[in-house]
Amino acid sequence: MDNITDVFALTKAAITGLPMLVRFMIALTLFLLVPGISERFKIPGMVGLILVGMLGGPSGADIWPDNPVMMTTLGEIGVLLVLFYAGLEIDLAVVKRVGGRAISFGLATLLLPLSAGAGLGYLVGYDLNAAILIGSLIASHTLLGFPILQKLGLAGREPVLVTISGTIFTDIVALLILAVCVQIHHTGFDKATLALEVFEVVAYAAIVLFVVSRVAEHLIRRTSAGHDMQMLALLLIVIVCALLAEVIHLEPIVGAFLAGVAASRSLRGTAAREHIEVIGNTIFVPAFFFMIGMRINPGETLRMLWDNPLFSAGLVLAVFGGKFLAAWSVGWLAGYSVLDRLNMWSLTLPQVAATIAATFVAYRTINSAGEPLIDKTVVSGIFVLVMLTATFGPILTGRFSNTIRERESSLAAEPPPETA
């Protein structure tokens, strides 16, 4: 054990003494290798980066220098891009194609996990504001399994479109709940202040979704000849929306997410979208997940889980059960097949981008008494939830989607029935 400690100490001393450029090269090497290695073991790349950051951070082997300003800066930009990319996956025009079913599913997949999570948080002793925040953390979801559907040619199926459209409502409302809960934690509950905050949030969302979307479309047309100018314009839109969110006491991640929703239609199929995703997914987004891992204490996380097993199990049950009931009930009423209902459930399971970002923001929100909005017990439970859902969600989506594809292929291959 002492030999291992000595090795870690020597490694940390060696890395600390290296020039900044060499340390940046080491970080890029990790960003390059870790996701591919993780996916070979059926673990999402972002989860692998969290684990590496956790094992090499101050609470693990402690081989990374203290106060990594460079990594922190990259991570702060990365969290904005994570939510911006999540918004880009949402197309408001899709809602028109599925109508009321999308709204029904959005309400169900939001309210069922939200109610279960809030009830769990209140029962274990959190105040109402923190309990509602806990419920909102597990209500949102990330469509990690959507690329699988695209690869199999199932992205145009109505149950998939309903699921995507429901994500619009779920993620936006969950992030707006985060904004309101953060404000209440800072200033306390006041009806007039809360009403003003809700009005500002709704007005801000409307401005971003309807005004910024026009501005983004105009900029894309004006700079259609230069992809570099398009990328700069997009980054400017993200930063401006994040700064405007701070003006009305919203979290910047809310502005980044709404900016993605506003720009999604004008960017669909353009080279600028591909380029900005390449830049973000290569440097900034991996830095964000790596920094999340560095802030996790493995020993403390295990102790929190050991001391509060019912809370962690309750979070898992609330997500798996709430999302399942939403998909099954809405799918049954719409007349979808059992496999389609299960596929809707698996698509809404992963709790990654919005959940991690919102948890990170809530834990850093401190009131005048020095108390965080959520404590380390919640953070530990959310981390376990992210690991489970990010792993099992895409696996289940792949299995259900392959079965749907095989059945459709077999039906298409059958000869038509003979007529008399």
Q: Where in the chain are the domains?
A: 5-404
Q: What pLDDT sits at residue 171?
A: 77
Question: Within 13 A of 134's CA, how many CA atoms are on the CB side?
Answer: 35
Give dist(CA 139, CA 116) in Å, integer: 9
- What gap in Å lies between CA 248 and CA 313, rounded to an integer? 36
Over residues 336-395, the pLDDT tens digits come to: 989 999 999 998 988 876 787 788 888 888 887 788 888 888 888 888 888 788 778 878
Render pLDDT for 33-65 as a digit per residue (tens, 0 to 9): 888 887 787 676 777 787 787 776 666 555 555
Q: Which tops the pLDDT comparison, 89 or 6?
A: 89
Give, in order, the Cα–Cα distances in Å from 311 to each of 113, 303, 326, 350. Answer: 14, 13, 22, 19
Answer with the residue of higher pLDDT: 61 or 260.
260
74 vs 384, higher pLDDT: 384
Contacts 24+ apart (CB under 8 A), 25-29: 27/70, 27/71, 27/287, 27/290, 28/283
Per-residue confidence (pLDDT) for residue 115, from 0 to 100: 93
Q: Which of 64, 1, 59 lies closest to 304 in space, CA to CA?
A: 59
What is the rounded distance in angstroms from the CA atom of residue 318 to the CA atom of residue 307? Answer: 19
CATH 1.20.1530.20 for domain 5-404, yes or no, is yes
Contact 349, 341 (CB under 8 A): no
DSSP 280: I
Residue predicted with more confidence, 127 or 98: 127
Residue 418 has pLDDT above 80, yes or no: no
Mean pLDDT of the region 219-225:
65
Q: Within 10 Å of residue 367's Cβ, how many Cβ atoms?
A: 14
User: What is the mean pLDDT of the segment spanning 87-97?
Assistant: 67
pLDDT of residue 341: 92
The answer to whether residue 111 scores a pLDDT higher than 80 is yes
Report the C-alpha gap between 409 and 203 in whole angstroms.
48
Mean pLDDT of 221-229: 64
Q: CA gyration radius for the chain?
A: 22
17 pLDDT exceeds 60? no
pLDDT at 70: 63
pLDDT band at 197 (very low <50, low <70, confident <90, very high): confident
More confident: 335 or 87: 335
Residue 409 phi/psi, 5-degree rounding, is -65, -40
Does residue 405 or residue 288 have the better pLDDT? Answer: 405
- Tell me the average pLDDT across 220-227: 63
Cβ atoms within 10 Å, residue 214:
11
Look up residue 281 and give its two tokens: 């997914």
For the ranges 249-253, 307-311, 373-377, which has the lowest average pLDDT?
249-253
**Whether the Cβ atoms of residue 63 and residue 56 lie closer than 8 Å to each other:** yes
Number of Cβ atoms within 10 Å of the Cβ of 61: 17
Which has the minimum average pLDDT: 40-44, 95-99, 129-133? 95-99
Q: Which of 10-24, 223-237, 295-309, 327-341 has the highest mean pLDDT?
A: 327-341
For residue 416, the 8-state DSSP code is P
CA-based end-to-end distance of the chain: 82
What residue type is assigned to position 201 of the chain?
Answer: V
* 372 in Cβ contact with 363 (< 8 Å): yes
| Paired residues of 372 in beta bridges | 366
What percent of the chain shows pLDDT beyond 90? 10
